[in-house]
């Protein structure tokens, strides 16, 4: 244990000699955690809509006002000409065109039926489908409103009605930050801890100190532990700073026990640091380590459930995500922070990440070639 103690002293001294260490530990996570949730916001608003109104009646005007007042749409043109609206779609200045036909109000009163046309710019499929859904819902709601206004009072009570009472669990206000901030914090911890661990052994190789260590009686597992523990501490610090920022900036307080977060964090860091150390044993330069870690971080972020639900991925992709520790941690963060889940709920995730961590660290120890 004496050798391990001296190794740890050496590693911590090296960390604090690094002028960029404090920035990586505090400033970078703070800036990213404040800015990323605001940028990575999938709540679709300000959908550009052009209204082609051939009727200019009170009913068509009320419908247009109802659409704009919903807060989801921004009126870019109100015109009589289809060609002008089509030009707006071609120039990407309108996402949706709503065409209200001539004699819309008159035919609606006389025939109790009328059609309107909706044209959607579907280059961005998500925005197109969501915008069409918003618009269809507003039109259906307006349709019910005018039916109730025009129906005979004597028959009003005879109409069957269905009242819908909605209840949103865990996130009643449907606040997007509550969903994204815990996941982004996991991504930050992964990138900072993983990259730092990957660069560490490679840096020793580049400056030549690895040769001095190799001729000492230090065992391979002691060397790996000496590299892993400082970054384990660093991961805890970054995570704590992230939780404080989430509370101060976004008002997010974990619904579950905070000690469960740190318990899982410890298991997760063992796995992700083992992965970083494994990468470093295969690389000879920091540029190689940076390229490899950047590649894996891109895959982790895209397939971990950070931005898109894992359930919506193909079956083969869902199987691959079970190999990523980050996908388990994102799930656990949302379960504990938003739902208030307990230990029994996350036990499967703990065992899965622990197994991955054992495999990665054992691989790193075996792959580290210590010459004497």
> How many angstroms separate the CA atoms of 51 and 117, rounded?
10
Contact between 341 and 258 under an 8 Å Cβ cutoff? The reply is no
Provide φ and ψ at 74, rounded to 5°. -125, 120
Contact between 288 and 202 under an 8 Å Cβ cutoff? The reply is yes
Contact between 303 and 326 under an 8 Å Cβ cutoff? The reply is no
The structure tokens listed for 219 are 């065992």
pLDDT, one tens digit per residue, over 76-114 is: 888 887 788 888 888 888 889 988 888 887 877 777 677
Q: Is the pLDDT of residue 164 over 70?
A: no
Local structure of 176: helix, strand or coil: helix
Q: Is the pLDDT of residue 163 over 70?
A: no
Contact between 25 and 238 under an 8 Å Cβ cutoff? The reply is yes
The structure tokens listed for 319 are 């199987």
pLDDT, one tens digit per residue, over 289-322 is: 888 888 888 888 888 888 778 887 888 988 999 9
pTM listed for this prediction: 0.76
């Amino acid at each position: 244990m004496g050798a391990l103690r001296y190794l740890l002293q050496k590693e911590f001294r090296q960390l604090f000699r690094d002028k960029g260490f404090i920035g990586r530990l505090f400033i970078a996570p703070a800036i990213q955690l404040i800015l990323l949730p605001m940028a990575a916001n999938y709540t679709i608003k300000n959908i550009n809509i052009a209204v082609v109104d051939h009727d200019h009646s009170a009913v068509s005007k009320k419908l247009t006002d109802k659409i704009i007042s919903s807060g989801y749409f921004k009126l870019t043109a109100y015109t009589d000409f289809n060609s002008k609206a089509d030009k707006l779609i071609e120039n990407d200045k309108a996402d949706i065109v709503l065409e209200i036909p001539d004699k819309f109000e008159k035919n609606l009163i006389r025939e109790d039926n009328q059609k309107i046309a909706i044209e959607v710019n579907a280059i961005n499929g998500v925005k197109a489908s969501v915008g069409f859904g918003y618009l269809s819902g507003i039109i259906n709601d307006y349709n019910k409103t005018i039916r109730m206004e025009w129906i005979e009072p004597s028959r009003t009570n005879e109409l069957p009605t269905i009242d819908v009472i909605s209840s949103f669990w865990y996130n009643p206000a449907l606040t997007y930050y509550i969903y994204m901030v815990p996941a982004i914090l996991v991504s930050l911890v992964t990138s900072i801890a993983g990259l730092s661990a990957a660069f560490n052994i490679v840096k020793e190789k580049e400056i030549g100190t690895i040769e001095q260590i190799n001729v000492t009686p230090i065992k391979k597992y002691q060397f790996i532990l000496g590299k892993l523990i400082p970054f384990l501490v660093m991961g805890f610090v970054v995570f704590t700073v992230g939780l404080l920022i989430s509370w101060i900036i976004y008002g997010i307080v974990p619904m579950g026990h905070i000690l469960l977060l740190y318990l899982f964090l410890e298991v997760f860091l063992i796995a992700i640091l083992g992965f970083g150390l494994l990468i470093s044993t295969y690389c000879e330069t920091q540029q190689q380590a940076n390229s490899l870690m950047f590649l894996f971080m891109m895959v982790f972020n895209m397939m971990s459930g950070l931005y898109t639900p894992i359930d919506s991925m193909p079956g083969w992709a869902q199987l691959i995500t079970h190999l990523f520790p980050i996908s388990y941690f994102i799930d656990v963060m949302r379960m504990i922070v938003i739902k208030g889940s307990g230990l029994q709920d996350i036990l499967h995730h703990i065992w899965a990440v622990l197994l991955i961590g054992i495999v990665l660290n054992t691989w790193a120890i075996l792959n580290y070639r210590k010459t004497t």
